[in-house]
Amino acid sequence: MKALRVAMIGAKGMPATIGGVERHVEALSSRLAASGVRVTVYGRAWYMDRHPGTVRTEQGVRVVALPSLRTKHLDAISYTFMATLHAMREHADIYHFHGVGPSLLAWMPRVFRPRSRVVVTFHCVDRRHAKWGVIARAALWLGEWAACTFPHQTITVGETLTAYCRATYGAAPVCIPNGVVPLAPDATSERAHDLLRANDIAPGKYLLVASRLVAHKEIHTVIQAFRQLRQERPEQYAALQLVIAGAPAFTDAYAEQLHAAAAGDTAIRFVGQRSGRMLDALFANCLAFVHASRAEGLPIAVLDAAGAGAVPIVSDIPEHCEIIQRVGGVLFETGNAWDLACKLEVVIANAPHLREIGDGIRDATLRHYHWDTCVAQVAGLYRALQPDTRTVNRARRVSAPRYIV
């Protein structure tokens, strides 16, 4: 039987160094490739530091680097147009778009490659992110409608998003969540500890934030809560560190604001974007993981931390509650630095028991969110969409959406 050809469009590239969508696409595509699917991931040349047109194989996946207009508003859509044209020239069987922005062009293979199948993964309500202006929000709103209208099947990464798509656009998405895999055993080894110490980080004595430096992630709230904690009890928390791993995404002004908020506090460590062994070591050896975001889909960073046995302390948005209700953790009021400081104090007071608590959180996370299960569901969806197993090959009727803000 001829191998299924899948084009992944929407991620910045592979291997993933920054971004939840990129982590998702890498995990999904590499496992699909291992099962015999011919996967091509289309990425942006600047992200992968390659010349446009370069083709390489990563983890069994064909990765094509394409040019884009590298600006805040045109980067994604210009790259998506090039990627869709390239995939159509190669006659992919499945066009899998990731994100509501790239979904704006999901109509192209529906029109010009009618025998193919189109899938969209709805990762997040991106228009709620603070970095976007009015015009960009309108475009992303249209992208949401496209993500729920153009494809043969829409996938959401969480139940909260599933309910949103049903209520707002009358769609019938399939929920296939993000996943995790067990950390390598050496993530807690002395070698990993040495790696942390080389970056002036004390194993087991730091709170971790791993996130892009963008305003809706509310990292300024974490800094405010941390400084409040240390100011109230300087002797008790003298050895405590706050480690912030991440880089801006066309948000340099916000990154500068964060550095200014932390100025003079040597306990706050900005370590930049991290991946691979260093990121694993950060997750596995933190005292607790903090995620204060106002808007998410189903955050891979929270799942990674929980899967590493770190206790997650997260804002009480529905997408976080969805995870915490299944695996455990601590919630605080979104945007409330005082409430976060109180929750941090309670968690730190239970430091001797955090490893045991974290082990239970890790086991629950791997039961509910495992990439092998997620990939099997996506592969099954691809098979169900093939022409010989589907009798209807028409897009849903396009109708004006109902909007819920």
Helical packing angle, 337-349 and 219-232, nearest 10°: 60
376: Cβ contacts below 8 Å, ≥ 6 apart: none
- Residue for token digits 């996506």? 378
Specify the CATH architecture of the domain 185-368: 3-Layer(aba) Sandwich (3.40)
Residue 132: the pLDDT is 78
What sign has the CA pseudo-torsion 68, 71, 74, 75? positive
CB 147 within 8 A of CB 100: yes
CB atoms within 10 A of CB 92: 25
Q: Which tokens in the block code for residue 7?
A: 């084009």
- pTM of model > 0.95: no
Q: What is the CA radius of gyration of the chain?
A: 21
If 0-12 CB within 10 Å is exposed, 13-18 middle and 19+ buried, where does residue 299 land?
A: buried
CA distance 207 to 352: 15
pLDDT in tens, the chain (405 residues): 678 999 999 999 999 887 889 999 999 999 999 999 999 999 999 999 999 999 999 999 999 999 999 888 899 999 999 999 999 999 999 999 999 999 999 999 999 999 999 999 999 988 888 777 888 889 999 999 999 999 999 999 999 999 999 999 999 999 999 999 888 888 888 999 999 999 999 999 999 999 999 999 999 999 999 999 999 888 899 999 999 999 988 889 999 999 999 987 999 999 999 988 999 999 999 999 999 999 998 999 999 999 999 999 999 999 999 999 999 999 999 999 999 999 999 999 999 999 999 999 999 999 999 999 999 999 999 999 987 644 444 444 444 343 333
Q: CATH 3.40.50.2000 region(s) of the chain?
A: 5-179+370-389, 185-368
Report the SS3 class of residue 314. Answer: strand
CATH class held by domain 5-179+370-389: alpha beta
DSSP string, 285-309: H-SEEEE--S--SS-HHHHHHHHTT
